Amino acid sequence: MSKLDKDQVVADFTAAYTAAFGKAPQLEQKPGWFSVDGGKNIRLAELAELGASYASAKKPATAAKAEAAKSATKSTKAAKTPKSKGDGGKSASAVWAERTGAQRQPRGCR
């Protein structure tokens, strides 16, 4: 097992993460552990492996995924229908009167 240099691993990971996602990661360092963007805590060796996987990932594939995600969100926004209020905007006392009929209303609705 080779000795990993913490500063070098963090620098490599930051560069790979920035290239893959377009933003700098938020690394929290705890004794022996690293947390990336507030996620799961990982060790230095796992951080190096994760950085290598980001570096080996193809950028056009991630760009295509981002493009597909953008078009999917646009289509879902257009497909949404405006929500209507279930009771037609009636007051609480009017809804209660309809539900209970001739019964007496509760104390807060008198």
Give the model confidence (pLDDT) of 4-48 as tens digits: 788 898 899 899 989 888 888 888 888 888 888 888 888 988 888
- 41-42/27-30 β-pairing: unpaired
pLDDT in tens, 59-106: 555 544 555 555 555 555 555 555 555 546 888 878 877 888 767 766
How many whole angstroms separate alpha carbon 103 and alpha carbon 25?
61
Phi, psi (rounded to 5 degrees) for 5: -90, 120
How many whole angstroms separate alpha carbon 70 and alpha carbon 97?
47
